[in-house]
């Protein structure tokens, strides 16, 4: 599951989870409507008027969107049962992504969480196909139900025969790849090895999809573009998982406290942007400064935050108006493993992580020092497997 995607907007909040839509999803919505209205429905129901075809197509596309959302919500609900919190669900080009705030704690948790999505798609699929069979059988009595049956049949087919099987393909990070990882993890008790195997599976699936895409394109089928796109996303996701896993292996059991800087400057929430720039940013050449209220960390302010303030407002804008508040800030503790810090760096663009102990800031962990440390271990050929 990827981090939060840029280019998405919040459209709803369900069960305390933000539902976001990536702009690419709007493209998919129209593609689905056009495909249904131009090809699928006119072929099966030639008597329908054009407006009727369009309305039924739009309803079907909307419910398709809802069924993907239901799939993702199922992942989220099970994740919660295992005490993993899901901050948001983003619907994008290739379906949905539920953003977990941390990795699954056990093989069992991962198995049930991953299986919940495809299981939901199968249930929706069977319900749709059942409803279609029912309306078809009773069409003489209720002819007005024909569009309902058409929509149900489409949703049934797409959920049971496209969404569920595709997601169950055993390549990480697809659901099937997560299920595979959880099984290997459970059997061998080693998450790192399980991740490597499942991610290699993801790369292999992406390779096969790519070959399929080329074959379809060469035979004049533009649907091959679609497969190519999926192959590209899947390959990237599987490859970055492998890199992350390799880094985790390299940093071994080192703790944040061993690499953090304990000499650093801080500012206060009430300091003006002008004073901060004059007294700290310029003379010390600092790109990110922790904001501290009394003993406690309140947030972090970066050059990027300061740039948003017009120069004539510098003397009246307090730092707290532009800083990233603590609640939205990735932090680590001195006892966290370096691999945890690497995960956090992966989900933020900040150049450093504040190191916090009992609410107070005790150090800064710079991205460069972590990267430098990893390079050094690599250069010395040190690799410690956990
Ligand atoms: Zn899923």
d(CA 336, CA 342): 11
Which element (helix H / strand E) includes 60?
helix 50-81
Q: What is the pLDDT of residue 98?
A: 66
Q: Residue 1: what pLDDT? A: 35
Question: Distance from the CA of 76 to the center of ligand 1, in angstroms?
Answer: 10
Q: What pLDDT, on a 0 to 100 scale, did the predictor assign at position 4? A: 46
Across 104-114, average pLDDT:
90
- How far away, in angstroms, is 118 Cα from ligand 1 center? 6
Question: What's the gap in Å between 40 CA and the centre of ligand 1?
Answer: 26
- Would you state the pLDDT for residue 168? 92
| b/e per residue 53-62 (b: at least 16 CB within 10 A) | bbebbbbbbe
pLDDT at 275: 93
pLDDT at 102: 63
Residue spans of the domains in the chain: they are: 8-251, 256-379
CA of 43 to the centre of ligand 1 (A): 31
Q: Rg of the chain's alpha carbons, rounded to an integer?
A: 25
Whether residue 286 has pLDDT greater than 50: yes
Tens digits of per-residue pLDDT, 308-327? 899 999 999 999 999 988 88
- Cα of 249 vs centre of ligand 1, distance in Å, is 27
Q: How far is ligand 1, taken at its centre, from the CA of residue 86, in Å? A: 14
Mean pLDDT over residues 283-302, rounded? 90
The lowest-confidence range among 10-24, 103-117, 195-209, 293-307 is 10-24
Catalytic (active-site) positions: 72
pLDDT at 45: 86
Q: How confident is the model at residue 233 (pLDDT cuts 50, 70, 90)?
A: confident
Lowest mean pLDDT among 62-76, 241-255, 343-357: 241-255
> What CA–CA distance (Å, rounded) separates 46 from 57?
14
Q: What is the mean pLDDT of the chain?
A: 86
Strand partners, 361: 356
Among all chains, which residue has been given the structure tokens 């895409």? 213
Contacts for 325 with CB less than 8 Å, ≥ 6 apart:
298, 299
374 CA → ligand 1 middle, Å:
33
- Cβ atoms of 193 and 162 within 8 Å: the answer is no
Return the pLDDT at 227: 85
Residue 386, pLDDT > 60, answer no
Phi and psi, residue 48, nearest 5°: -70, 145
With a pLDDT cut of 90, the percent of the chain lying above it is 41
CA of 247 to the centre of ligand 1 (A): 26
* 160 CA from centroid of ligand 1 (Å): 13
Q: pLDDT tens, 47-66?
A: 888 899 999 999 999 999 89
- Report whether 41 contacts 53 (CB < 8 A): yes
8 A C-beta contact, residue 168 and residue 176: yes
Query: Looking at residues 268-277, what average pLDDT do you find?
Result: 93
Give the homologous superfamily in CATH for domain 256-379. CBS-domain (3.10.580.10)
Quote the tokens at residue 13: 């909040």
Ligand 1 centre distance from Cα of residue 65 (Å): 14
Find, among 273, 274, 277, the residue nearest to 286 by Cα: 277
**384 pLDDT tier (thresholds 50, 70, 90):** low
Does residue 96 carry a pLDDT above 70? no
DSSP-assigned letters across all residues of 234-259: HHHHHHHHHHHHHHHHHHTT-BHHHH
pLDDT range class, residue 99, cuts 50, 70, 90 = low
Please give the average per-residue pLDDT across 120-144, as a whole number: 91
Torsions phi, psi of 170, nearest 5?
A: -80, 60
CA of 178 to the centre of ligand 1 (A): 9
DSSP collapsed to 3 states, 196-213? HHHHHHHHHHHHHHHHHH
Q: What share of the chain is helix, strand, coil (3-state, %, to 5)?
A: 60, 15, 25
H/E element holding 121? helix 107-137
pLDDT per residue over 192-201, tens digit each? Answer: 889 899 999 9
Token look-up 């680590």 returns 332
Position 336 pLDDT exceeds 70: yes
Structure tokens, 361: 């800031």
- Most confident stretch, 106-110, 137-141, 292-296, 349-353: 106-110
Give the helix/strand (H/E) hosting 95.
Answer: strand 95-100
């Amino acid at each position: 599951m990827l981090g939060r995607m840029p280019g998405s907007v919040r459209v709803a909040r369900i069960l305390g989870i933000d539902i976001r839509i990536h702009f690419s999803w709007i493209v998919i919505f129209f593609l689905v409507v056009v495909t249904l209205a131009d090809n699928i429905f006119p072929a099966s129901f030639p008597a329908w008027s054009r407006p009727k075809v369009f309305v039924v197509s739009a309803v079907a596309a909307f419910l398709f969107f809802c069924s993907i959302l239901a799939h993702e919500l199922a992942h989220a609900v099970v994740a919660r049962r295992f005490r993993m919190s899901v901050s948001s669900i983003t619907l994008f080009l290739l379906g949905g992504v539920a953003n977990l705030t941390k990795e699954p704690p056990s093989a069992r948790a991962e198995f049930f969480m991953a299986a919940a999505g495809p299981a939901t798609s199968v249930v929706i699929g069977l319900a749709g196909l059942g409803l279609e069979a029912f309306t078809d059988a009773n069409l003489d009595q209720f002819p007005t139900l024909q569009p309902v049956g058409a929509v149900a049949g489409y949703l049934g087919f797409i959920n049971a025969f496209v969404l569920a099987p595709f997601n169950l393909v055993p390549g990480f990070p697809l659901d099937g790849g997560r299920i595979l990882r959880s099984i290997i993890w459970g059997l061998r008790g080693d998450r790192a090895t399980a991740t490597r195997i499942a991610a290699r599976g993801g790369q292999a699936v992406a390779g096969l999809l790519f070959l399929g895409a080329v074959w379809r394109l060469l035979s004049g089928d533009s649907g091959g573009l679609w497969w190519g796109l999926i192959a590209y996303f899947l390959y990237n996701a599987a490859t970055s998982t492998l890199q992350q896993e390799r880094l985790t292996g390299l940093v071994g059991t080192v703790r944040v406290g061993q690499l953090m800087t304990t000499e650093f400057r801080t500012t206060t929430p009430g300091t003006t942007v002008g004073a901060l720039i004059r007294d700290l940013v310029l003379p010390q050449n600092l790109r990110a400064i922790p904001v501290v209220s009394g003993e406690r960390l309140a947030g972090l302010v970066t050059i990027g935050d300061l740039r948003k303030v017009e120069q004539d407002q510098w003397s009246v804008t307090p730092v707290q108006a532009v800083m990233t508040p603590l609640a939205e800030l990735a932090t680590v503790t001195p006892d966290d493993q370096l691999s945890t810090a690497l995960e956090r760096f992966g989900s933020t663009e900040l150049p450093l992580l504040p190191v916090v102990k009992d609410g107070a800031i005790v150090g800064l962990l710079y991205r460069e020092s972590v990267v430098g440390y990893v390079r050094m271990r690599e250069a010395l050929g040190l690799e410690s497997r956990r």
